[in-house]
């Protein structure tokens, strides 16, 4: 028996494997053996609240909770939500200064003046709000465009923070003071995201390991999934990236964390060398580079498919399942 640093909670290797495999199966998040104490420490307080004495009992409690409430609590406990506004600015500049103008030109030529962006694993909202501010800053270029930013996360608790849109401290360190004044209202130490920025972002709970729900997020122009897949097993990454490929319209871009790679995960995307960053692109069909993708139903991508209604419907459906949180939790 392996005893944790807290004398009152013990977790055997078998119990660790049980809960670890359950978390992996449901969320894609994988904890290696050396993360045993981290998992134990994160469970301890919750088990005390529930007056559950053993990890095995907690495992059954969460596994057989038909309401999913305990699973949501578990996800709040085991996810790492580190993020900040304007995180990795070169990547964001490659979006606003390079990918975006190209996308707009291409879409305008096709008579489609709408842009659909998905921040997958958005944590407390800094990433989608940053994208919204960057787009708002392109006033002339964006005139007449309909912009939708879908933002999703598995953790309901972190989404409640995202919806509140109130921030302070280090997370704001990269926001230019002029933009702080323009897109936030200040109350003491607290900065509140302005309604015009909030209006661009739709938050919803979505488990990226739920392939059916991921498949509903179709016809995206850009997907940001930065610093999320690092927590997943290779197998889950492969499924998810295949899903992202299908979610993107031809010509669309996939941003992953700057230290992440699709090497060994997918060969479906083209690597684009922008001035500011390397970005993955689903090539437009007419470029003639439509490589077959293992296990991917390319026909389901459909350049003209659903005119983008799918993801809106998906987000609506998802928010029916999970009621949008009210501020203040």
Ligand X SMILES: C[S@@+](CC[C@H](N)C(=O)[O-])C[C@H]1O[C@@H](n2cnc3c(N)ncnc32)[C@H](O)[C@@H]1O
Q: Which residues bind ligand X (CB under 6 A)?
A: 27-29, 79-83, 87, 121-123, 127, 153-155, 158, 207-209, 226-228, 231
Residue with Cβ nearer ligand X (100 or 240): 240
Q: What is the smallest separation between the CB atom of 197 and ligand X, expressed in angstroms?
A: 17
Q: What is the smallest separation between the CB atom of 72 and ligand X, expressed in angstroms?
A: 11
Q: What is the smallest separation between the CB atom of 244 and ligand X, expressed in angstroms?
A: 13
Q: What is the smallest separation between the CB atom of 214 and ligand X, expressed in angstroms?
A: 9
Residue with Cβ nearer ligand X (9 or 23): 23
Q: What is the smallest separation between the CB atom of 231 and ligand X, expressed in angstroms?
A: 6
Residue with Cβ nearer ligand X (224 or 245): 224
- 12 CB-contact burial (10 Å; exposed 0-12 / middle 13-18 / buried 19+): middle
Phi, psi dihedral angles at 77 (to 5 degrees): -75, -40
Q: What is the smallest separation between the CB atom of 319 and ligand X, expressed in angstroms?
A: 15
Residue with Cβ nearer ligand X (9 or 39): 39
SS (H, E, C) 242-265: HHHHHHEEEEEEEEECCCCCCCCC
In sequence order, what are the beta bridge partners of 190?
187
CB atoms within 10 A of CB 122: 31
Residue with Cβ nearer ligand X (208 or 311): 208
Q: What is the smallest separation between the CB atom of 265 and ligand X, expressed in angstroms?
A: 16
Q: What is the edge-to-edge ordering of all strands in the sheet holding 190-193?
A: 166-167, 190-193, 184-187
Residue with Cβ nearer ligand X (65 or 106): 65
Task: Please identify which residue in the block is written with the tokens 């509903």.
Answer: 216
Residue with Cβ nearer ligand X (18 or 131): 131
Please tell me whether residue 197 adopts helix, strand or coil conformation.
helix
Q: What distance in Å separates the CA atoms of residue 164 and residue 83, rounded to the nearest whole number?
A: 16
């Amino acid at each position: 028996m392996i005893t944790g640093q807290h004398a009152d909670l013990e977790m055997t290797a078998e119990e660790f494997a049980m809960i670890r495999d359950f978390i992996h199966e449901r969320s894609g998040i994988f904890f290696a053996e050396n993360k045993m104490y981290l998992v134990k420490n994160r469970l301890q307080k919750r088990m005390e609240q529930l007056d559950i004495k053993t990890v095995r009992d907690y495992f059954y409690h969460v596994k057989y909770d038909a309401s999913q409430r305990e699973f949501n609590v578990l996800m709040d406990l085991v996810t790492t939500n580190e993020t900040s506004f304007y995180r990795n600015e070169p990547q964001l500049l490659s979006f606003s200064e390079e990918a975006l103008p190209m996308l707009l030109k291409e879409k305008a030529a096709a008579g489609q003046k709408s842009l659909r962006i998905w921040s997958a694993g958005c944590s407390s909202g800094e990433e989608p709000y940053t994208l919204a501010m960057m787009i708002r800053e392109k006033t002339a270029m964006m005139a007449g465009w309909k912009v939708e930013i879908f933002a999703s996360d598995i953790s309901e608790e972190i989404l409640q923070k995202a919806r509140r849109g109130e921030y302070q401290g280090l997370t704001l360190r990269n926001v230019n003071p002029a933009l702080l004044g323009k897109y936030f209202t200040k109350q003491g130490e607290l900065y509140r995201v302005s309604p015009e920025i909030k209006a661009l972002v739709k938050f919803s709970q979505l488990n990226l390991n739920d392939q059916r729900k991921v498949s509903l997020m179709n016809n995206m122009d850009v997907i940001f999934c930065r610093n999320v897949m690092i927590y997943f097993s290779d197998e889950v990454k492969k499924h998810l990236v295949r899903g992202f490929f299908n979610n993107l319209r031809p010509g669309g871009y996939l941003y992953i964390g700057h230290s992440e790679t699709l090497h060994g995960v997918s060969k479906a995307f083209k690597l684009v060398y922008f001035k500011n960053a390397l970005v993955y692109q689903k090539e437009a069909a007419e470029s003639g580079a439509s490589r077959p993708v293992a296990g991917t139903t390319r026909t389901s991508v459909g350049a003209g498919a659903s005119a983008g209604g799918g993801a809106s419907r998906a987000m609506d459906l998802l928010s029916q399942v999970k009621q949008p949180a009210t501020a203040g939790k």
